[in-house]
């Protein structure tokens, strides 16, 4: 696949800053999941560490590029979810990880150039970790760069966001997205793009994973509940076992379609007995539940409450 067209302007602006020797000490790559933020990050870091870059892109053959490809470059560290003492992966980034990262950034570059660290997902830092990072952002060492990646930057403290140069990845125009999906070989790109809410990256992923069939399953489930044929508890358990956040996305999308159909006097496939105000309330509740699944509350109870309200 070629570089996504919606990366071109973002890349050009960043490289223009590099040409002026005006790169910031902290970048925040943010925007919806699926738009290639992590590919952009890898491309940028490779080019920044490369000894013979061409318009910001790495040569791929110098010692620095070979080390980066092997994952052993001494001037780059990628921070993500760590492991607890019992070997289980954490669900958040904790303060000890940030302290170790800050100590690493305080050392000199072994190649005499940039010392780079990335945090992904940066919106998974807990409060203590974010507070520890703030000191590093306020007092950056020379020739260091911190790159944060976040699908949901609003979960991060404003004090962190304000100290980073933001690069916002936004949904491209429909024709641009369809052309990219066609190049990627996605079958029925129009339907895939609609299912993903206009997000071409998610449309491609869901098409490849067969998730669009799940979209139809969710609609059938809601229709069954509305007609009194479904079991909310069994349905909630099934949803929880198979990408529940994605199912809730499809559920909210189905309800939005239901509201639009009612507004234009079309047939309503979900056949819900909820009135317009309750439909809107359920739509917002589905999105809140999707967010709440990230937290400590029991997912089965969250889904049971939501589906019970639909029935």
pLDDT-derived band at 1, boundaries 50, 70, 90: low
| Residue 175, burial from CB neighbour count under 10 angstroms (0-12, 13-18, 19+) | exposed
Q: Kind and range of the H or E element at 29?
A: strand 26-30
Structure tokens at 264: 């234009």
pTM more than 0.85? no
* 78 three-class SS: strand
Helix ranges restricted to H, the chain: 8-19, 37-49, 63-70, 95-105, 127-138, 158-161, 174-183, 189-195, 200-209, 211-226, 232-240, 244-263, 276-292, 299-310
For 120-176, write each residue's pLDDT tens digit.
Answer: 999 999 999 999 999 889 888 888 999 999 999 999 999 999 999 999 999 999 999
What are the distances in angstroms from CA 77 to CA 32, 115, 260?
Answer: 24, 9, 48
Q: What is the mean pLDDT of the chain?
A: 91
Half-sphere exposure of 180 toward its Cβ, with a 13 Å CA cutoff? 27
Distance CA(59)–CA(68), nearest Å, equals 12
For 285-296, write each residue's pLDDT tens digit.
Answer: 999 999 888 877
DSSP assignments along 165-187, one per residue: EEEE--PPPHHHHHHHHHHTT-S
Which of these ranges, 26-30, 148-152, 295-299, has the smallest mean pLDDT?
295-299
Mean pLDDT of 11-16: 95
Distance CA(228)–CA(232), nearest Å, equals 10
Q: Kind and range of the H or E element at 148?
A: strand 144-150
For 131-142, write each residue's pLDDT tens digit.
Answer: 999 988 988 888
Q: Which residues contact 161 (CB under 8 A, 6 or more apart)?
A: 28, 153
For 51-82, write each residue's pLDDT tens digit.
Answer: 999 989 999 999 999 999 999 999 999 999 98
pLDDT-derived band at 226, boundaries 50, 70, 90: confident
**Phi, then psi, of 294 in degrees rounded to 5:** -75, -20
DSSP assignments along 276-295, one per residue: HHHHHHHHHHHHHHHHHTTS
């Amino acid at each position: 696949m070629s570089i996504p067209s919606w990366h071109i302007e973002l890349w050009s602006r960043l490289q223009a800053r590099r040409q002026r020797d005006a790169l910031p000490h902290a970048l925040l790559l943010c925007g919806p999941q699926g738009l290639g933020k992590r590919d952009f990050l890898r491309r940028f870091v490779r080019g920044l560490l490369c000894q013979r870059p061409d318009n910001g892109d790495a040569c791929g053959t110098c010692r620095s590029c070979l080390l980066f490809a092997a994952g052993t470059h001494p001037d780059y560290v990628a921070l993500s979810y760590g492991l607890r003492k019992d070997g289980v992966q954490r669900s958040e980034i904790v303060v000890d990880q940030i302290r170790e990262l800050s100590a690493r950034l305080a050392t000199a570059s072994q190649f005499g150039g940039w010392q780079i660290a990335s945090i992904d997902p940066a919106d998974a830092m807990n409060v203590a970790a974010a507070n520890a990072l703030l000191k590093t952002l306020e007092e950056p060492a020379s020739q260091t760069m911190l790159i944060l990646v976040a699908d949901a930057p609003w979960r991060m403290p404003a004090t962190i966001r304000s100290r980073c140069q933001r690069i916002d990845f936004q949904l491209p125009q429909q024709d641009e997205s369809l052309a990219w999906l066609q190049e990627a070989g996605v079958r029925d790109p129009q339907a895939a793009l609609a299912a993903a809410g206009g997000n071409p990256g998610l449309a491609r992923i869901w098409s490849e994973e067969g998730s669009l069939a799940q979209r139809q399953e969710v609609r059938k489930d809601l229709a069954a509940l509305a007609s009194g044929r479904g079991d909310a508890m069994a349905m909630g358990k099934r949803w929880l076992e198979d990408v529940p956040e994605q199912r809730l996305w499809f559920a909210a999308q189905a309800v939005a379609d239901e509201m639009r159909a009612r507004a234009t006097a079309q047939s309503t496939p979900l056949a819900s007995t909820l009135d317009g105000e309750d439909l809107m309330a359920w739509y917002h509740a589905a999105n809140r539940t999707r967010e709440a699944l990230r937290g400590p509350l029991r997912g089965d109870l969250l889904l049971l409450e939501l589906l019970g309200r639909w029935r």
